[in-house]
Structure 1
Amino acid sequence: MADVFQAVAQILKALQESSTAVWFTTVGIILLGVATIVANMAFGRKPEDTPGGMKGAFFTCLFVGIICAVTGPSVALYKELWNTQTELKKRDIQVMSTADIRRRLEDNTRVRFVIRLIGYNSTDPKGLPIEKVQKLGPSNQLYSFVADYEELKGRTVAEALTMIGNQKDFDRVTAIIFPLPRRKDNNDSGSFFYPANARGLLQVIRLVESQIGESERYIKSDTFNSDQLKNLKSVGRNTYPIRAPDKLYADYCPLVAKFFCSGSGIYRSRDLIGQLYDDWHPLGFSQKNPRQSPCSIPEQQFCAFSGWDKAYADFEGHFGARAFLIENLDVNAIVGRTMIDFTDLRNQRIPEIALPVPDPSVD
């Protein structure tokens, strides 16, 4: 009942704010009043004794009165909706600039909310519409790629797909947006979310390969020296920014380049980690429309890094969004998740939604 009173109050408020609506409503009420008076005057008379003018006046006042009485609130509601749409347009979601995304990459800015975009074609029986999604990635994966939600919100879904390097032509997308969960424990080994740069990828490879036989591993017992092993065990957010010159990046990049170009099936761990496509770069970002396959680039050139200004210049127009690897979580177990089924990728946008406050313990 309270909802009814609230709706009536909103209509009355809208009427007060529109002179046109007030005019129509007032005229409608007056005409309906006149129709009531005429009806009372004709009450008790036989139809044949009622003057034609009185009949005409009654039906005219009744018909026009109803139209005006209905038109008044309709005009008010239309104006209210128009004003609401205009206000919403003024509140367009602010799209993060490429320069800001680059700065976040350089500083390894904290991620509070992540987004996973799963593209598929509606005609493909193997597609994953929202009701079929059970995990972030394919069930055989242990880690899957995600992006920073803040970097993609406000963009069209088609543009967001390009930002994360997806070059396939899909007509549907399932989006999963959620606050980054806290770590499993308080130890460094408890992290399950990694920047997908050279160092982060190696950390994930080590984690994945701890679950398979040594003979099947890409990383052998003598792959790293003691300093590198110590470095790879740390998952503090401030340990990931890459600065030039960076000796460890120079050591790590050739290793991930070889792993990247090994192809599926050579190393078992390759199939347990989210798909590595040509858009991935060992500095930790996805490329929009990559100019060439990384495996066709000489290793020294692929891993060259003399500073962020040079890197940005080299990828001008192709820089996408930051890339991350996260455990392949069970979607139904993710607290605070929002799932959206997009059907118009060129016009629908990644919305700004009210997400839960992120866990402050996540760093």
Structure 2
Amino acid sequence: MSWHERAVHSLGFMMEGDDMDKAVEGFVQVLSFVLASSSTASLLAVGLILLLITTVFACIALRSKPEEVTSFFKVAFFLCLVGGILFSAAGPSLALFYVSQDPIRRKPVNAAIDDLASNRRVRYVIRLISRSPSDAALGIDALTQLGPARQKYSFVADYEELKGYTVKEALDLFGIGYVAGYRVSVVIFPLQVDLYPANARGLLQVVSNVEAGVSPQDRFLKPGKLSDDELREFGDTGIPTYRLDNFKPLYPHYCELAQTFFCGQYAAKELVGGLYRDWHPLGFSQKNPPTQPCAIPKEKFCSFSDWDKVRQEFKGHFGVRAFLIENLEISKIPGRMLFDFQDPLRDRIPDLGLPLSFD
């Protein structure tokens, strides 16, 4: 075999290998689409069960004499075979239809709650600002900071949790709420500064930071509010420290203090923006939040046993993870992306194809 023939032969194998990799990748992607929806996953499961039953019937038929195979058996075999094929095909077909109608994959609620429990690292954050069309000061071209000038910290969300949603849906998830006729200014940028999960612990850390500029007599976190153990734990801002399981014994007291701050009037409160009734002390925003959260008894407001219970209790109105970030000057944020959405009912938070990591 000449070198040319060997090269062509090798190239053929490489192409076959590449095709195989692409086929496997495509299969995995379709399977992930199917499993992302309970309806498509159920269709696929029914189809596979019917095909399994068909296989059992086939084995029985092969081991039986022709005269032993009844008409009922043949009909059952045929129905299971056809049903298995149809249901197995219906699951992926419906999943692909969903994708064609809504091509940007959105993060499922359970995955977002998993991220909350593990305090999964955030790569890009998003800030949404709803405004009246006549309020030019909040237009994307006029914005100078993430929040009002008086704020020291502003609320943001994980971009990955909001991409693919309509802007209206994103507003609802973030607890802002949609106002008919309003436009929405959006800032998306890579995270390169400290970010505080807005759970009870993170909120108190931010309060402690901003109260450095508040007179001692007006501070919320006066000496004695936190125990020595809490103060030692309080100073650590590593990602694992915000996982509730890592400070669970201290959470009830942190939450009690956070509720007092949330429901009271303190000098530091106007320095921490967006602390409204949608905020939950576990660190997320709520859709359809309680109308009077401060009327909720402390025991219920701060109750936590495990994340499975959180999934059950907030399945219908879990929003997104909430974070507090320094009120940055927008013009100085590296890699910032600015958007002006004029039709929140139809416009979507785009999939920008952002890398999972960056230097």
TM-score by length of 2: 0.69
Alpha-carbon displacement from aligned partner over 1:2-40 (angstroms, at most 9, x marks no partner): xxxxxxxxxxxxxxxxxxxxxxxxxxxxxxxxxxxxxxx
Aligned to 1:130, what secondary structure does the other structure show? coil
- Matched residue type, 1:346: L
Alpha-carbon displacement from aligned partner over 1:34-79 (angstroms, at most 9, x marks no partner): xxxxxxxxxxxxxxxxxxxxxxxxxxxxxxxxxxxxxxxxxxxxxx
1 CA distance for matches of 2:246 and 2:234?
A: 19
Counterpart position of 1:12: none
- Matched residue type, 2:303: A
> How many residues in Structure 1 have an aligned counterpart in Structure 2?
261
Counterpart position of 1:195: 197
**2:109 equivalent among 98, 117, 138:** 98
Counterpart position of 2:163: 153
Counterpart position of 1:252: 254
Q: Which has the higher helix share?
A: 2
Counterpart position of 2:285: 286
1 CA distance for matches of 2:213 and 2:345?
A: 41
Q: Does 1:108 pair with 2:119?
A: yes
2 CA distance for matches of 1:230 and 1:300?
A: 25
- Matched residue type, 1:274: G
- Whether contact under 8 Å (2:220, 2:268) holds in the other structure is yes
1:224-243 superposed matches below 5 A:
224-243=226-245
1 CA distance for matches of 2:149 and 2:160?
A: 27
- Structure 1 segments of 4 or more deviating over 3 A? 88-91, 354-360
1:25-64 superposed matches below 5 A:
none
Counterpart position of 2:334: 335
Would the alpha carbon gap of residues 245 and 138 (structure 1) be closer, same or farther in structure 2, given more than 3 Å must change? closer
State the Cα RMSD in Å.
Answer: 2.0
Counterpart position of 1:223: 225
- Matched residue type, 2:110: A
Aligned to 2:122, what secondary structure does the other structure show? coil
Q: Does 1:277 pair with 2:276?
A: yes
- Matched residue type, 1:175: V
- Matched residue type, 1:241: R
- Whether contact under 8 Å (2:241, 2:247) holds in the other structure is no
1 CA distance for matches of 2:319 and 2:288?
A: 9
Would the alpha carbon gap of residues 327 and 169 (structure 1) be closer, same or farther in structure 2, given more than 3 Å must change? same
Counterpart position of 2:75: none
Larger Rg: 1
Counterpart position of 1:298: 297
1 CA distance for matches of 2:277 and 2:320?
A: 14
Alpha-carbon displacement from aligned partner over 1:144-199 (angstroms, at most 9, x marks no partner): 00000000001000000001011251520000000001x4xxxxxxxx31000000
Counterpart position of 2:319: 320
TM-score by length of 1: 0.69
Alpha-carbon displacement from aligned partner over 1:72-122 (angstroms, at most 9, x marks no partner): xxxxxxxxxxxxxx9x95881111111110110011000000000000011
Q: Identity, % of aligned pairs?
A: 47
Counterpart position of 2:72: none
How far off is 1:336 after superposition? 0.3
Alpha-carbon displacement from aligned partner over 1:187-217 (angstroms, at most 9, x marks no partner): xxxxx31000000000000000012111110
